[in-house]
A = this chain, B = another copy of it.
Amino acid sequence: MWSGRFSENPDALFESFSESLSFDRRLAPFDVQVNRAYAKALHRIGIFSDAEITLVLKHLDHIAIELEAGTFPFNRGDEDIHMALERRLTELAGAVGARIHTGRSRNDQVVTDMHLYLKTVNQEAQKALRALSETLIEKAEHHLTTVLPGYTHLQQAQPILLSHYLLAFFWAIQRFRQRLEENFVRLDVLPLGSGALAGSAFPIDRAFLASELGFTRVSPNSLDAVSFRDTFTEFSGVLTQISVLLSRLSEDWILWSSQEFGFLTLPDAFSTGSSMMPQKKNPDSLELIRGKAASNAGHLQALLTLEKGLPLSYNRDLQEDKLHIFSVIDNVLPALKIVRKIVATSTFHPEQMKEAVHLFTLATDAADYLVEKGLPFREAHVVVGQAVQKCVREKQNLTELTLEEWKTFSPLFEEDIFGWLTLAHSLERRNLPGGTGPKSVQTQLEQAKEQLRK
C-alpha cells in the first residue's frame, strides 16, 4: 500500500519477522468501530458523499460480520490488521475504500484501537475483581471464627482467624479496583486525528469522533498521542501487580494443600494428576498462576525496556508492545476467574488448622501478661524467651509449664497466666480496629460489604 516509492519487494524472511497480524488481529472489532466513526467524520468534511458514506458503512458492517464469522479473507501480504481492513474495504467498495485513510495514519489509528480495547479489558478486570471480592466476603463469613496459625517467616507467629486472612486479600483487591478506575480515566481519551505525528491536515471533527467512539476527551497534543505508551504500561503494571497478589495467595494455598499442612483440599476440577504417579493430585492451577506472575513481570520489563530507548515519536520497536500487553491480559483475566472459583469451591479443614496451631504462638501473650503485671515489655520478652528456650530444649510445650516453673523465670507469674494461654484469649485481645479479634473482624466484614455497595 506504500510501495510507490520502492523499487524492490520486501524480503520474505523480513516479511514474516515483521508481521503483526497473528496478534493484532484481536483489535479487528475495534478497528472496524474506528473505521466507521472515521468514515462518518470524513463524510462531514466532504471526503465522502452521502451515497459513498452509506456504501462504506454497509461494507464495514459486512466486514464486521466476516470477522465475527471467521470468514474474513486475510491475505498473505497483509502487514497488519489496519492494512487488511483497508485492503478488504477497497476490494468491496473500490475507489471509495481508497479514501478511508485520508488524513489518517496507522500511528493514530492503532493507538485509538488500543485505547478502545484496553478500556474494555479494564472494565472486565474491574468486574472480575469485584466478583472475587464478593466471593472472599462470602467465604470469610462462612469461616468467621475458624482459627489457624498466622505465619511470619513461614514460622508460626500468632493465631489468626481465617476470615481475617481472607479479608486481607479483599482489601488489597480494593486498591487494585481503584487503580483500574483511575487508569480508565487516562485511557478515556481519543488519539484519532493525531495523524502520523503532527496532527491530521484535514479538519476532522475530533469532538464528533470522540462522541462516536465513546471517549470523554480528545488528546491535546498529537506527538504525545502517538509517541508515549505510559498509560498502556500503567495498565500492564496494574495487572502484573494483581498477578503478584494472586501469586501470593497461590503460594499459601499450595503450602496449605500439602500433606504437611493439610489445611485445604482443592477441588478436583482445578487439580491435575501425574502421568506416572497414580496417587498424585497436584495444585497445577495455582502453580500456573504463580508462574504466570513471573511471566508478567518479564512482559512489563520488556515494555519498559522497549520504550526507554526511543527518540520521539513512533518507532517500529513499539510493535512489540502489543505482544506483551496481550500476554499480560491473557495471563491475568482468566486467573482472576479461576482464583474466584477456587476460593469458592475449595474445602478448608478447620479441625486440622486449629490442631496445627502450635501453642508457642501464645508466647507474645505470655510476655504481654508480664507487661500487665508491670514489667517493661523488652524485659518481659527476654523472660518468656528463656521459658521458650527451656521448652524447646526439653521438648515441652509452653502450656505444659507448671506455675512453679513459670515462677523460676519471673516471680510475677500467677495462677491467672493459664487463662491467658488459650487461643480464644489471644484472639480476644486483638479486637482493636484492623485486628484479628472476632469482634474486630465482624466489623471489618461490615466495612467490606459497605465498600462493595459503594
Task: Give me 27 A-to-B residue pairs in the complex whose CB atoms sit less than 8 angstroms apart, sorted by A's number.
Answer: A1-B275, A2-B275, A3-B273, A6-B273, A10-B270, A83-B275, A99-B371, A105-B277, A156-B258, A164-B222, A167-B224, A196-B276, A202-B368, A207-B433, A221-B444, A247-B308, A247-B309, A248-B308, A255-B255, A273-B385, A279-B361, A282-B316, A294-B306, A295-B324, A297-B301, A297-B308, A305-B308
Contact of A223 among B86, B153, B168, B356 (CB under 8 A): B168
* Nearest chain B CB to A288 CB, angstrom units: 5
Complex CA–CA separation, A304 to B149 (angstroms) = 26
Q: Is the CB of A220 within 8 A of B319?
A: no
* Nearest chain B CB to A36 CB, angstrom units: 18
Chain B residues lying within 8 Å of A294, measured Cβ to Cβ, are 302, 305-306, 308-309, 317, 320
In the complex, given contacts A230-B241, A297-B302, A305-B308, what are 19 additional A-B residue pairs having Cβ atoms less than 8 angstroms apart? A18-B285, A152-B314, A153-B283, A154-B258, A155-B283, A156-B258, A168-B227, A169-B224, A178-B186, A220-B433, A222-B436, A252-B312, A278-B387, A278-B388, A279-B364, A287-B316, A294-B305, A297-B304, A300-B301
Judge if A44 is at the interface, Cβ distance under 8 Å: no
Judge if A175 is at the interface, Cβ distance under 8 Å: yes
With known contacts A277-B364, A299-B298, A434–B311 Cβ distance under 8 A: no
Q: Is the CB of B307 within 8 A of A376?
A: no
Q: Which of A207-266 contact B (CB under 8 A)?
A: 207, 218-225, 227-228, 230-231, 233-234, 237, 240-241, 244-245, 247-248, 251-252, 254-255, 257-261
Considering residues A13, A230, A258, A381, which has the most beta carbons from chain B within 10 angstroms of its beta carbon? A381
Q: Which of A57-65, A68-76, A335-343 contacts B (4 or more CB under 8 A)?
A: A335-343
The 9 closest A-B pairs by CB, nearest first: A4-B385, A199-B435, A298-B302, A2-B273, A291-B317, A309-B309, A98-B376, A279-B363, A287-B316
Judge if A267 is at the interface, Cβ distance under 8 Å: yes
Complex CA–CA separation, A368 to B448 (angstroms) = 53
Chain B residues lying within 8 Å of A2, measured Cβ to Cβ, are 272-275, 278, 280, 381, 385
Size of the chain A interface, CB-CB below 8 angstroms: 203
Complex CA–CA separation, A297 to B385 (angstroms) = 38
Contact of A432 among B169, B206, B268, B433 (CB under 8 A): B206
Judge if A47 is at the interface, Cβ distance under 8 Å: yes
Q: Which of A346-385 contact B (CB under 8 A)?
A: 356, 358, 360-361, 363-368, 371, 376-379, 381-385
Q: Is the CB of A219 within 8 A of B308?
A: no
* Nearest chain B CB to A261 CB, angstrom units: 5
With known contacts A155-B259, A168-B221, A338-B11, A5–B105 Cβ distance under 8 A: no
Chain B residues lying within 8 Å of A447, measured Cβ to Cβ, are 220
Judge if A8 is at the interface, Cβ distance under 8 Å: yes
Q: Is the CB of B194 within 8 A of A151?
A: no
Judge if A201 is at the interface, Cβ distance under 8 Å: yes
* Nearest chain B CB to A361 CB, angstrom units: 7
Query: In the complex, what residue of chain B is closest to A335 when comparing beta carbons?
Result: B17
Complex CA–CA separation, A384 to B9 (angstroms) = 18
Judge if A284 is at the interface, Cβ distance under 8 Å: yes
Chain B residues lying within 8 Å of A194, measured Cβ to Cβ, are 434-435
Judge if A77 is at the interface, Cβ distance under 8 Å: no
Contact of A5 among B258, B392, B433, B444 (CB under 8 A): B392
Contact of A433 among B6, B218, B288, B367 (CB under 8 A): B218
Complex CA–CA separation, A432 to B118 (angstroms) = 26
Judge if A386 is at the interface, Cβ distance under 8 Å: yes
Complex CA–CA separation, A179 to B181 (angstroms) = 12
Contact of A300 among B152, B247, B298, B341 (CB under 8 A): B298
Considering residues A218, A255, A273, which has the most beta carbons from chain B within 10 angstroms of its beta carbon? A273
Judge if A29 is at the interface, Cβ distance under 8 Å: no
With known contacts A364-B276, A398-B279, A430–B258 Cβ distance under 8 A: no
